[in-house]
Amino acid sequence: MSNTGEQWSPSNYVTHASFVPALTSRVVSLLAPTRADNILDLGAGDGILSIAIASQAASVHCTDGSRPMVEYAASRVAEGNIANVTTEVIDASTQVKEQVPVGKYNKVFSNAAYHWIFGSLPSNEARAKAIQDVYDILPQGGQFVVECGGHGNIGEILVALVSVVKSAWAKKGVDKTYADIKAKLWPWYFATNDEIEEWLKAAGFKIELLEREYRPTTLNNGELGMKGWFDTFGFTFLEGLTEEEKHASIAEAVELLRGADWLEHGGKWVVGYVRCRFKAIKE
């Protein structure tokens, strides 16, 4: 799956995904920003978290592979008159080395983006190279602090998505195999901790912490939350379908997920997120 840049919707993100930058106390505590830190944020999305971190740092460079997201983040920076946040479009899967000056940032940070970044790369060798690029632009003593979806993340949603995509294409007379879906429509790679450990060590990092957490996650907007999640994050799976077919597929996926993720008494969707977090040092 190649870069998803232009397909991201900042307004969907703000409406349906505000829980993403909000649920970050653990990873931000690992980052431990100080007034001496110049921080590069990769896959920074709508910029909300970059702006929050900047209040405790010397500066934050808020970057993302999606131009609409970066433009939205830049508008928030301008509106808030925030002097120590800059923005730039950077595809973190391939452009870190060509766009980031060596030694400019003493910390590289990322929340909820590396499963997309890894997903846009074709192999584990390419994923290891993306980590190596971060190592190469950090100064000695520099830190790399990340939270992303880990192996097992949103398992029930993946099953529902494969099922509805196969059935939508079957209705059009096309036999879409799992392999087709995985190769062309699947945007994520949820790495195991073993893989991440291997890539970090191969790059030369010392791993200070590497953890995996099952974190049931409440979606925004009550009953509408699951549909909003698909609109915001599931768009690549529905490529090639008509608007009507997309709508029907999402409705079918929502129904399939009711048994697993809908809390009838709480009136909310709670999804099976698995997070991987690490803090690695360039010694």
Counting residues that bind ligand SAM (by CB under 6 A) gives 23
Task: Closer to ligand SAM by CB, 44 or 165: give it.
Answer: 44
- Contact flag: residue 77 with ligand SAM (CB under 6 A): no
Exposure of 214 by Cβ count < 10 A (0-12 exposed, 13-18 middle, 19+ buried)? Answer: exposed
Asked whether 230 and 253 are in contact (CB, 8 A), the reply is yes
Exposure of 136 by Cβ count < 10 A (0-12 exposed, 13-18 middle, 19+ buried)? Answer: middle
Task: Closer to ligand SAM by CB, 45 or 150: give it.
Answer: 45
Task: Closer to ligand SAM by CB, 37 or 64: give it.
Answer: 64
Binding mask of the shown chain, residues 114 to 153, with x at each position contacting ligand SAM by CB under 6 A: --xx--x---------------------------------
- Ranges within 23-42 binding ligand SAM (CB under 6 A): 42
Binding mask of the shown chain, residues 84 to 113, with x at each position contacting ligand SAM by CB under 6 A: -------xxx-----------------xxx
- Contact flag: residue 45 with ligand SAM (CB under 6 A): yes
- Contact flag: residue 154 with ligand SAM (CB under 6 A): no
Q: Where are the alpha helices (DSSP H) in the chain?
A: 10-16, 19-22, 25-31, 48-54, 67-79, 96-99, 114-119, 124-137, 155-171, 178-184, 193-203, 225-233, 243-261
- Ranges within 224-263 binding ligand SAM (CB under 6 A): none
Question: Contact with ligand SAM (CB under 6 A): which of 51, 53, 69, 137?
Answer: 69
Query: What's the residue count for the chain?
Result: 283
Beta bridge partners, 278, equal 146, 210
Task: Closer to ligand SAM by CB, 11 or 177: give it.
Answer: 11
Question: Contact with ligand SAM (CB under 6 A): which of 30, 51, 62, 66?
Answer: 66
How far is residue 233 from each of residues 139, 250, 252, measured CA to CA in Å? 34, 12, 16
Distance CA 117, CA 113 (A): 6
Closest distance to ligand SAM from the beta carbon of 198 (Å)? 20
Three-class HEC string of 35-74: CCCEEEECCCCCCHHHHHHHCCCCEEEEEECCHHHHHHHH
Interface residue list for ligand SAM (CB under 6 A): 3-4, 8, 20-21, 42-45, 49, 64-66, 69, 91-93, 111-113, 116-117, 120
